[in-house]
Structure 1
């Protein structure tokens, strides 16, 4: 019998252990059953494949669970679940939780038409490891007078579930934030309301921050009319509660941090590096020069200390255009990945940025899949090699409405690049190199760069990281013809002999 030393035995175990290698970057869409398919949440499985939870929309909505291979180019299996003739939708994006059983917890709201209004009941569903619904529970005992929506749920340490959302009284359309507590079987134990100074309120995010404390994010809502548009105007509200729903701390920002959207302005999560992070929209004075009135309310990422006092705020102001933050994920290095969609010269593209622990934008990238409609990123996971896999949807409005949306999967490297080695379009990376000027901007048929030094490298990059032009300066001034390029936004990178880079955004009209 051969005896192995401890070191040799360890090496045998290492050699026999499964090794997962990640696929190259990908950018794929999936059209399933000729219906609308939207990915809302993405999870990595042990075999390297991905589970994407979302919504399938056709005649009625249904839950959707799609398993995609590690290469991001083929569906392994797909499950969907509908509730009678109603339309369930699965809460807010990036709100599903993976359970220790391998299954999933998902909030949902069921909608069905009753006379001239929608009747709604909120609740939660438990899915197995393949995404099949094994149980679901709805909570609204008075659908004739109230609408209940559930946006987020958590599993409690000692069993049972806590869900947050909103209850709307149909006679007045006044909304109040609610929490619902159940036991392990889904039996309702209690429901509590959380009003605030006469505002309409709701809860959009829940997180268990220790065995006895819940962090809830929401907003104080009112309706306003802006440029003939009736909109919900939300101000962030943060709550700490015990697991019985009693308020430990209640903080609201009445001024400055307010914006459009009933659900999107109060999300808050515990920071793995201390304190909390929150994202929403800034309140600004309306500027009629903006074509899109939503540009007046730029999105932001905020860090708060343990007392909910503001440490820093990073604003995403990019005019013309608007960058929307639907989701923020904290990465292993404690930085933040913010993403969703942006309105640029070419329409609605997917967008993501990485922000450091002190609020500096490290990179900022835009993405699209060939389509004639909006592209949006809704959730993401970071792989062990630092690469990032997103899910979301890409739409083609040339197709019928019930077939326009396809599930989107996108994989990029740690710098947000689809093509390795691209230049991240950073906001805070400009390096001064003398008196270099670039004009005109916006440009039509050409741009001129002055203040160069012989030998400076000049590169032109589009917004998905493709190098479309490169030259070396032969004198102090260079001209680049733009007629061959499509209208839209581009990045010019000028590199001097010391390797320093000057990065500028230009627009081709």
Structure 2
């Protein structure tokens, strides 16, 4: 009977472990942001992506798990699972040349993703453990992948729409602006993030209690910025 209990416990533990990564598979993940050295970087121009799925190898005649993530180019590799982390011993990357808007920002963001999953090389192999945290809320699924050095990639399935002021209840003016931008019709406890064209967070307001607020942009360089409100609306701001 004791052996039976041990076998049953082992089976249940393995069953629970085997299910831990299943919610992550075959999901169209979108990269919300990357945290590197305590600085947040956001994808510009278009959304980053991520995919974790099971594939079949005709060489080994067996299944394996595959990760692919990027913005324009893709970083990819075969992964192995543990209870709370995974390993990706070696990665590859596509090398397409993006020549559109903000191409330098796109290349930079793709470089962050490649560096993140390239990890720490020991004896020619990435020895890093990538810890993952998964949770769901009313807006969708969320995944945070963390390196041991504290860097993180935040994935979500929430849709991020780039909307014009006419399509949004949120009012932003003046635009273009020189010193101050005013934002009105905000929801209670709204979060606002101002992002430059490279995807770097330059201003932020969290848990704003009022339905309106102001953001001082006087000391920011002239150029194009993106105002993100509650991770649901993005509006382009021109700083003169």
Answer yes or no: same fold by TM over 0.5. Answer: no
Q: TM-score, normalised by structure 1?
A: 0.23
From the two aligned structures, give the one with the greater helix fraction: 2
From the two aligned structures, give the one with the greater strand fraction: 1
Greater RCO (CA < 8 Å, at least 6 residues apart): 2
Q: TM-score, normalised by structure 2?
A: 0.41
